[in-house]
């Protein structure tokens, strides 16, 4: 089964930086898939942050994080269903405070903008003061 393990959250002052990591493993449905990040702030709905397709590295960002966050993959080619994804968070703002969840969408990122991801990590907290 798919496992998504996040790390790298923490507390930082406004304007600071953090790097989140997500180790994915166990995916077997296809050679490539979509990895991404959602976040949920207290009292708010979960929202899409960014996604990346493991097949060609195509990325997508929410308008609120464009130019500040960068999503990337450790490996250009998946290793038997394994890969590590990073989210570099720069110029952080208090409104970026949220629980950040690593997610996986099977096959591609074509449904990223509207479909609910199939697999979720446990989340990592980012707090900006």
> pLDDT at residue 119 above 80?
yes
pLDDT value for 80: 72
Mean pLDDT value across residues 3-10 = 95
User: Over pLDDT 70: what percentage of the chain?
Assistant: 98
> pLDDT at residue 17 above 90?
yes
**Exposed/middle/buried for 84, CB within 10 Å: 0-12, 13-18, 19+?**
middle
pLDDT value for 129: 96
DSSP state of 64: T
Tell me the per-residue pLDDT of 41-56, one tens digit each, with 9 for 90 and over: 999 999 999 999 999 9
pLDDT value for 12: 98
Tell me the per-residue pLDDT of 56-100, one tens digit each, with 9 for 90 and over: 999 999 999 999 999 999 877 767 778 999 999 999 999 999 999
Phi, psi of 43 (to 5 degrees): 80, 5
């Amino acid at each position: 089964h798919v496992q998504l393990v996040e790390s790298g959250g923490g507390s930082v002052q406004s304007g600071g930086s953090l790097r989140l990591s997500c180790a994915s493993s166990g995916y077997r449905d296809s050679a490539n898939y979509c990895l991404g990040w959602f976040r949920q702030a207290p009292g708010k709905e979960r929202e899409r942050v960014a996604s990346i397709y493991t097949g060609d590295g195509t990325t997508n960002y929410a308008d609120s994080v464009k130019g500040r966050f960068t999503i990337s993959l450790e490996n250009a080619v998946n290793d038997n269903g394994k890969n590590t994804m990073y989210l570099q968070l720069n110029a952080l703002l208090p409104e970026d405070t949220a629980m950040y969840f690593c997610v996986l969408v099977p096959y591609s990122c074509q449904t990223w903008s509207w479909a609910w991801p199939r697999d979720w990590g446990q989340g990592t907290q980012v707090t900006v003061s």
